[in-house]
A and B are shown apart, each in its own frame.
Chain A
Amino acid sequence: MTETIAYNALQVLFVLAVAPLYAGLLSRLSEIVQSKRGPSVLQPYWDLWKLFHKDEVVSEESTWIFRATPWLVFVTPVFVTTLIPVLTDYPLAFAFMGDMLAGGFFLGLAGFFAALAAVDTGNPYGPMGASRTRMVGFLAEPVFMIVFFTVSFVAQSTIPYIVQQKWVASAAAFFSPAHILLLIAFLMLILAEGGRIPVDNPSGHFELAMIDESKGLEYSGRGAALMKWGGQMKFLVLTCIFLNVLVAPWGLAGGRAIGEVLIAAPFILLKVLLFAVVLVAIETSLAKLRLFRITEFLGAAFITSVAAMVTSIFPGAQ
């Protein structure tokens, strides 16, 4: 028991430590693709360090929501990390505390408070970004639901650890149309939720075009650092769910020895690196969608996920 709690803590530490690296990797890779040199992979760490040592300015007009939000945004991905397989393929101490829907609720809670905090200060760009994020959010919600329901229908469980073992069990399940359709729907969902290119431009600095970024415009110092780090962790957690639960549940530690768990870390990093390359390929080959085209993008994701459900429910498919 104590050892599984320790491994759970280790997973959280892993996500905390690797999330900025992942963000740095993504920006560096996309700069390289555009034949620029780009900032160092470690730049997000220096950014966080700098922000933590700066003074924080909070508007007098703002309420407790504005001050509490960075902590919520920072803490919720940590909670989700305790529920999902990051390094091990057997359930850890807190795995049965909540299922995938609980993970969705946690991330949704952070998003809700971030939107409230953006409205809180009265900055004109904040509410605009918040309402746009909500728009993307409520379009993404049905896709999330259908993906989760299909996954739990196929695997007969909503616990990520058990779902992940389902796909490895047989090649027939892994290659089934339902699985492939789910993968594509979830990938589109990650692009939308993570604010990546066909939906939102993560490196844009033009407030009118921002969707996800403008929520954090009012934060400075420690608040900004927490928001940033929390956002990076959320994206890493989503990637881990995608890779470890749905796409490639290999390379995770199977044994209970500490050595095996530590050796799993580089494998996970390698998978994340490969996924980053795929992501950069998607981002550089697509243009950002116009705001009202996002409906179509997420509509397509919804259709794909429902098609996955349909092909898995009807008797002929299995």
Chain B
Amino acid sequence: MPASIADALNTLSAGLILISAFAMVATRQVQGVLRFFVVQSLLLAASSFILGYGHNSVHLWALGVITIAAKVVTIPWVLRRLLPTDFYERREIAQAVNIPASLLLALLLTVVAEFIAGPLVAGAHDSVIGVNLPIGLACVLIGAYSLVARREAIPQLIGILAMENGAFFAGIAIAPELPLIAELAVAVDVILIAVIVGLLTRNIQERLGTTEAAALRELKEEPAEWL
């Protein structure tokens, strides 16, 4: 496998990562959002394997393995264990912005990302950066957007994780030799975030019967015996 084909495959996964970011914005069902997140993480892992092969970098291989272990296996498993199945079948009807408008905004964010990344990429030494940086940046922005626009707790959490995916995707092109300890720390962090938000959501669900962020307006002064 020559380096040019490795680059081409990396470009392919870049395109698919962008599509899965759009798909996460367009999906109503909580389950669907989670599935697209898993797909995106798999693509991220594939991209880091491909780049690891192209650059002969063991770090990127390790990163791919960490990504699969943390984001493809552990996080979905943890989230599914913490919350009942009917939670995942729920559709989120009342979003802050409706879906076509959300998609248009996501598109706008992609344009912004390309616009910002353009001058940065122009001075880059590696053509891979030209692919990964704008799309990674777009994923970060789209993830941040879904954090704002979503009303359910789990899609909001997945928004954070998708931001992290985007940052990694840009990062593996810019700094393929990042120390492994940093990657490991981030991976553990991400799992911890998933566990904490999942637990919190589970308790909110048990207490109030809803996890819609919009419904949680009043502060309740009751003894917190469930902690």
Contacts and interface: CB of A to CB of B under 8 A. Distances in A.
Interface in B1-34: 4-5, 7-9, 11-12, 14-16, 18-19, 22, 26
Contacts, number: 89
A180 B22 CA distance: 14
B138 to A, nearest CB: 9
B194 to A, nearest CB: 28
A179 B131 CA distance: 13
Given A300-B103, A303-B104, A307-B22, A171 B114 contact: no
A175 B133 CA distance: 17
Chain B, interface SS category: helix
Contact of B100 (A296, A304, A310): A296
A177 B134 CA distance: 11
B75 interface: no
A221 interface: no
Nearest to B101: A299
Given A184-B19, A295-B100, A311 B4 contact: no
Nearest to B133: A316
Nearest to A181: B15
A178 B131 CA distance: 11
Contacts of A318: 130
A311 B134 CA distance: 9
A245 to B, nearest CB: 18
A43 interface: no
Contacts of B8: 171-172, 174-175
B95 to A, nearest CB: 13
B134 A317 contact: yes
B77 interface: no
B205 to A, nearest CB: 28
Contacts of A311: 15, 18, 110, 114, 134-135
A220 interface: no
Contact of B118 (A175, A176, A315): A315
Nearest to A314: B114
A306 interface: yes
A300 B133 contact: no
B94 interface: no
Nearest to B99: A296
A136 to B, nearest CB: 15
Contacts of B131: 177, 316-317
B34 to A, nearest CB: 18
Interface range on chain A (Cβ under 8 Å from partner): 20 to 34
Contacts of A171: 4-5, 8
Interface string A164-196: 000000011011111111001000000000000
A178 B18 CA distance: 11
A181 B18 contact: yes
A180 B12 contact: yes
Contacts of A295: 100
B178 interface: no
Interface in B48-85: none
Contacts of B129: 316
A178 B12 CA distance: 9
B97 interface: no
A186 to B, nearest CB: 14
Interface string A288-318: 0000000110011001101100110011111
Interface string B113-128: 0110110011000000
A309 to B, nearest CB: 10
A184 B115 CA distance: 23
The 8 nearest A-B residue pairs measured at CB: A177-B15, A316-B121, A180-B15, A316-B130, A175-B8, A175-B12, A314-B114, A171-B8
10 contacts: A177-B15, A180-B12, A181-B19, A303-B104, A303-B106, A303-B107, A304-B22, A310-B110, A315-B130, A316-B118
Given A172-B4, A306-B107, A316-B133, 12 more contacts: A172-B7, A175-B15, A177-B15, A180-B15, A299-B99, A299-B104, A303-B107, A304-B19, A304-B22, A316-B117, A316-B131, A317-B130
